[in-house]
Structures are given as C-alpha cells and as structure tokens.
Amino acid sequence: MNELAKRVTEISGQNVYSCYQCGNCSAGCMFTDEMDVLPHQAITLVQNGDESVLETNTPWICASCFVCSVRCPRGLDVAAIMEALREIKIRERGFIKLDLRKVDIEKLPQIAITAAAQKFTW
Amino acid sequence: MITMEVLYYPGCSLRNTYPEFEKSTYEACRKLGIELVEIPEWSCCGVVPSLATDNVMRHLGAVRSFVNAQEKGREIGTNVIVILCSMCYNVLKRVNLILKEEPDTLENVNNFIDDQPNYVPELRVMHFLTLLKEAGFENLREKVNKPLRGLKVAPYYGCALLRPDRPEGVPIDNPDNPVILESFVKSIGAEPVHFPFRAECCGNYHIVFEPRITEMRTKKIIGSAKSERADLILSPCPLCTYNLGRGNESLDKNGQVPVVFFTQLLALALGAKPYLPTEIEDQILKKIGGKKSD
C-alpha cells in the first residue's frame, strides 16, 4: 500500500483498494459540475499514490451529503474518503482553507458557520 | 395518544436562529400529551458528524450531552432522547451508535471526559418524526381538529434524516424511497406532492464560502417543488431552511415557494399556535378556508 493510501485508510477506516471504478459515486454526486476530478477518479489517484489529488478541489466541493456512500456497491464510505483527503491538508501546519475571521457572522446562522468550521478547520 | 415524558435535546439553531421551530413543537406537544424534558447543560453537537476515525475529539459535544441526559433520564425513568433538528439528530444518532458498537472509542471518550460520570451507551436517540410515527400517524389524525385540506405540501427530506446508512439505524426511513414525511403530511390533512428533488442536498456548509453552489442547488429544489404546484416546502432542518430561504431570495416572486418547519403545520392542524409569519398563515388559511389561530 502506498503512503497516501495508507494515510487515507488510517483516517477514514476505508480500504480504498476495494474500489473498482464503477462510477456510481460520481453518477449520483450532485456537485460534479464543480469538481476538478470526479469522486471515483480521486479514488484512483489515491490507489496510485498520486498526491496531486490533494491539490484538486474535489474533496472541498464535497458537501457530505452521503449519496455516494449509500450507493457504493463495494460498501465504501466515499464521503469519509473525501473527509480523509481534506483532513490530510487541514492537518498540515500553516494550511488555511477557511479563515473564520473573514466569515460574516452577523449574516450567517450559527449552524452554517459551525458546520463549515468542522469541515474546513481543525 | 398517551401521555409520555421524553428527554429533549433542543440544539443551538432552535434557541437563536429559528425559535419558531421549537415554540411550535411545544405547542403541538401540549395538545398531544408529550412532555419534552430538556437535557440540562446540553452542548452543541458540532452540526456535522466527523468522519475521521482516528480523531474522536469532535464527538465530545455529543457525549457530554449524553452524560447529562443519562442522569436526567434515570430521574424521570426514560432512555429516549427526542431531537427536532435533522443535523443534531444525525450527529447524536451516529455518535451514540458508534459508542455502542466500538468499546475502545467509548473507553477513549470516557477517559477524556474525566470531570463527568462515564457514559453507558443505553440511550435511544430518536427524531421527533419517529416518535410521531411510533405513536401512530392514525392516532395523530384523530387529534387534528383543523385538517389542512387542499394545501399542497412538498415534503423536503434533505440529507441528514436519510443518510448515511452506516452505522445501521441512522436513516429514519428508507433512504431511497422515504415515506415518513408524506405520511405525516397526510395525517394533518394536507396533500403531499411528490417532487424529484425531495432528498437532494441543499449545498450544506457551502453557504459560508461558496454561496453560489448552495444557490444553484436550492433553486433546483425550489423549482422542482414549484413545478409540482406546491404551496409550501416542508423542512425538518434549520440549515436547509436557511439555504432554501437564500435560494428564494435569488428567485423572482413567481418562482418562490415559502419554506416552513413541519412542526409549524402540525401545531396549526392541532389548533395550536404555529408561530408562522402572518403572511404565510393567512395564505394557508385562505387555502383551507379556516380561521386564524389565537
């Protein structure tokens, strides 16, 4: 197992090698129009140990709606794999995806800010 | 319906953003003989469940609430926690199931929270809709004294009530073909309209830094309900409600569909105060030919 796959497995608890590229996750995903690579392609990159996946916007566009996870015929929690890809970046020292100081706390409800903070900061 | 006491977890959104969600529920529960006993010193659930299995820190808000709930539950003799907000429900349900299934994780969090008693995972986390379903929608129908006849309602599930399906037991209904909200709508006398976007994502936290994405999603959801001639969209979720509201703002008047919490319609149908905006309540009453509540 390559280093990237090892880290993804460790964080997500999912064996990325179970994926056989059927594309069900990408077919069901409501956000693919916005993504650099599709969810099943991101998993291939992880299988190949290609760290360029960490620089794609795909994990950040994922909204954790879990349609992919419900539909995966291999029982993979694809949303958890996306979370692992986010976590790898978030845990890097100095990496900032969401600067909470710039969030409009007057306008946005607490529920939205807290959700974003959970997913995009550590 | 019989009188019962259950533990109740309100969550932050019901206390500051959408008090009408909670107030209409209290009104309805008074009519139904359900007493909601608030968990003392509950904590924020964190809104979205952490999917990182190597870090349990994000579970702690939920667990602290469970510890307080378990004490209160022993006092009043129940192990049922009822939740209204779908995001809170999803997090608390998941964390509770994980703690039931994984003794190591349970030990880990119990060791960490050393200023409170240990959590023994015997609580049952339940959505308010499940409580109504278990008490029987047919029994609810009998309590309805102002049936919302002629009102076309688009029941919007969103994600958190239906997904993920692991750990087993999170969805309150079949994730592919849910019927619980439709059954609820029928029991209060309204007509559920079937719209294909009922279980699609509103864009969730993207409202914070990519509102363009939530707008794109919510316009589709509202448009889908509109094309089925829905008078209202029924929401069980404060975040969906906010995002759909922002979607409505970006549409012209003819394309908009008002969004209300399911408990507001419940209260109205039971003859209790629904805490609806006057304009929407008037619209509904005009539709069903009834008089304003007091």
DSSP code per residue over chain B = ---EEEEEE--HHHHHT-HHHHHHHHHHHHHHTEEEEEPTT-----SS----TT--GGGHHHHHHHHHHHHHHHHHT--EEEE-SHHHHHHHHHHHHHHHH-HHHHHHHHHH-TTSPPP-S--EEEEHHHHHHHH-HHHHHHH-SS--TT-EEEE--TTTTT----STT--SS-SSS--HHHHHHHHTT-EEPP-TTTTS---GGGGTT-HHHHHHHHHHHHHHHHHTT-SEEEES-HHHHHHHHHHHHTS-GGG---EEEHHHHHHHHTTS-----HHHHHHHHHHHT-----
Q: Point out the residue among B46, B52, B54 whose CB comes nearest to the CB of A114.
A: B46
Could you give the CA distance from residue B19 to residue A112 in angstroms, rounded to a whole number?
A: 16
Segment (H or E) for A8: helix A3-12
| H or E segment and range at residue A91 | none
Cβ separation B87–A111 shorter than 8 A: yes
Structural Rg of chain A based on CA atoms: 15
Size of interface A-B (CB pairs under 8 A): 117
Residues of chain A with CATH 1.10.1060.10: 3-91
Q: Does A96 reach chain B within 8 Å, measured CB to CB?
A: no
Token reading at B283 = 């619209």
Spelled out in words, what is the top-level CATH class assigned to the domain A3-91?
Answer: mainly alpha
B152-to-B148, B184, B185, B284 alpha-carbon distances in Å:
9, 13, 9, 10
- Each of the 122 residues of chain A gets a pLDDT tens digit; together they read 999 999 999 999 999 999 999 999 999 999 999 999 999 999 999 999 999 999 999 999 999 999 999 999 999 999 999 999 999 999 999 999 999 899 998 999 999 999 999 999 98
Q: How far apart are CA B260 and CA A3, in angstroms?
A: 48
The predicted structure's pLDDT at residue B175: 94
pLDDT computed for residue B2 by the predictor: 52
Of residues B53, B49, B94, B59, the one with CA closest to residue A11: B53
For residue B79, give the nearest of B20, B116, B120 by alpha carbon: B120
What does the CA dihedral B197, B200, B205, B208 come to, rounded to 10 degrees?
A: -20
pLDDT attached to residue B275 = 98
Calculate mean pLDDT across residues B235-253. 97
Angle between the N-to-C axes of helices A110-120 and B238-249, in degrees from 0 to 180, rounded to the nearest 10: 110
Look at residue B1 in the predicted model and tell me its pLDDT: 47
Residues B267-274, mean pLDDT to the nearest whole number: 98
Domains of chain B: 4-128 (1.20.1050.140), 145-288 (3.40.50.11810)
Asked whether the beta carbons of residue A116 and residue B203 sit closer than 8 angstroms, the reply is: no
Q: What is the pLDDT of residue B289?
A: 85
Distances in Å between the Cα of A84 and the Cα atoms of A28, A46, A102, B70, B88 are 20, 11, 25, 32, 22
Return the number of other C-beta atoms located less than 10 Å from residue A117's C-beta. Answer: 18
Q: Is A90 on the interface with B (CB under 8 A)?
A: no
pLDDT beyond 80 at B134 = yes
* % of chain B exceeding 70 in pLDDT: 98
Chain B residue with Cα closest to A100? B208
Evaluate whether B52 touches A122 at the Cβ level (below 8 Å).
no
A100 touches B at CB < 8 Å: no
Q: Kindly report the backbone phi and psi dihedral angles of residue B261, in degrees, each rounded to the nearest multiple of 5, phi listed first.
A: -80, 145
- Check whether B142 has a pLDDT greater than 70: yes
Distance CA B217, CA B59 (A): 29
Per the CB < 8 A criterion, the answer to whether B19 and B11 are in contact is no
pLDDT digit string, tens, across residues B40-69: 999 999 999 999 999 889 999 999 999 999
Q: What is residue B157's predicted lDDT score, i.e. its pLDDT?
A: 98
Helix (H) or strand (E) holding A23: none
Tokens representing A110? 């607490």
Contact A116 B166 (CB under 8 A): no
A69 and B166 within 8 Å at the Cβ level: the answer is yes
Quote the ipTM score. Answer: 0.95
Cα–Cα distance between B5 and A109 in angstroms, integer? 31
pLDDT per residue as tens digits for the range B76-122: 999 999 999 999 999 999 999 999 999 999 999 999 999 999 999 99
Cβ pair A30:B166 closer than 8 A: no
Say if residue B142 is exposed, middle or buried (CB neighbours under 10 Å; 0-12, 13-18, 19+).
exposed
At A122, is the secondary structure helix, strand, or coil?
coil
Chain CA centroid to CA B32, Å:
18
Instruction: Pull the structure tokens for residue A114.
Output: 């807290």
> What is the arithmetic mean of pLDDT over B248-274?
97
A83 shares contact with chain B (CB less than 8 Å): yes
Find residues 2-21 of chain A whose CB sits inside 8 Å of chain B.
Answer: 10-13
Q: Extract the tokens encoding B41.
A: 């010193």
Question: Chain-wide mean pLDDT for chain B?
Answer: 95
Residue B294 pLDDT greater than 60, yes or no: no
CB contact under 8 A, A111 and B164: no
Using CA atoms, how far apart are residues B151 and B144, in angstroms rounded to an integer?
15
